[in-house]
A and B are shown apart, each in its own frame.
Chain A
Amino acid sequence: KAGVTQTPRYLIKTRGQQVTLSCSPISGHRSVSWYQQTPGQGLQFLFEYFSETQRNKGNFPGRFSGRQFSNSRSEMNVSTLELGDSALYLCASSLAGLAGGQETQYFGPGTRLLVL
């Protein structure tokens, strides 16, 4: 099976712009989670989608949003970019996203976003 894929792999944007990142989960996986990774804060949970519904959201401002399509592919959007949004954005997929989170999450390679 192909692993989790993310596009694009690298992005350079300027402050105030918006950006959309894409994640394709492993075939058959229905839960997609997004994380932001920075040197200072480590890996932080953004949100999780299952069957096109956001079930859980981390502590990020409303500029960060996402959605999931019927084929389980997911996108996240960041509007009005700030310098501090520069980070590696990782998505992870799991089979059914069971309550209690006891399923293995498989990570994609990430999208590295640089905001100038």
Chain B
Amino acid sequence: GENVEQHPSTLSVQEGDSAVIKCTYSDSASNYFPWYKQELGKRPQLIIDIRSNVGEKKDQRIAVTLNKTAKHFSLHITETQPEDSAVYFCAASGAGYSTLTFGKGTMLLVSP
């Protein structure tokens, strides 16, 4: 089955810096890659996603890149703010119906 590796497990940055989280996946059939943000005690919320026919997608300060050949995708957050502090999960979805395989998560801490 699918396996998703996520790095780093923790990331500390200063406010205004950029943050990059990287994920690799194993199943070449995977074609949908969402990113979720989970604040303490809250539900995971989708922040951005990318499909296999696209190499990059941006939404304001957030961008995701996908390299299907290398089977990796990354989340880029620019101009980080303290409210960006949370755990971020990458996921991959392949041929199975509504089955997401998640990375272990990255705890992002943005210091003022």
Contacts and interface: CB of A to CB of B under 8 A. Distances in A.
Contacts of B93: 100-102
A97 B97 contact: yes
Contacts of A44: 102
A43 interface: yes
Contacts of A107: 36, 43-45
B32 A101 contact: yes
A48 interface: yes
Interface residues of B, number: 27
A103 B34 CA distance: 10
A51 to B, nearest CB: 11
Nearest to A41: B104
Interface in B58-99: 89, 91, 93-99
A48 B43 contact: no
Nearest to B103: A42
A47 to B, nearest CB: 9
A64 interface: no
Interface string A30-65: 010101000000111100101000011011000000
Interface in A53-94: 55-56, 58-59, 90, 92, 94
A55 to B, nearest CB: 5
A55 B45 CA distance: 24
A108 B98 contact: no
Contact of B104 (A42, A50, A104, A105): A42
Contact of B100 (A4, A50, A105, A108): A105
B31 A56 contact: no
B96 A56 contact: yes
A105 B46 CA distance: 8
Interface of A: 4, 31, 33, 35, 42-45, 48, 50, 55-56, 58-59, 90, 92, 94, 97-110
21 contacts: A35-B102, A42-B89, A42-B103, A42-B105, A44-B102, A45-B99, A50-B97, A55-B98, A56-B99, A97-B97, A97-B98, A100-B31, A101-B32, A101-B98, A101-B99, A102-B32, A104-B46, A105-B46, A105-B98, A107-B36, A110-B43
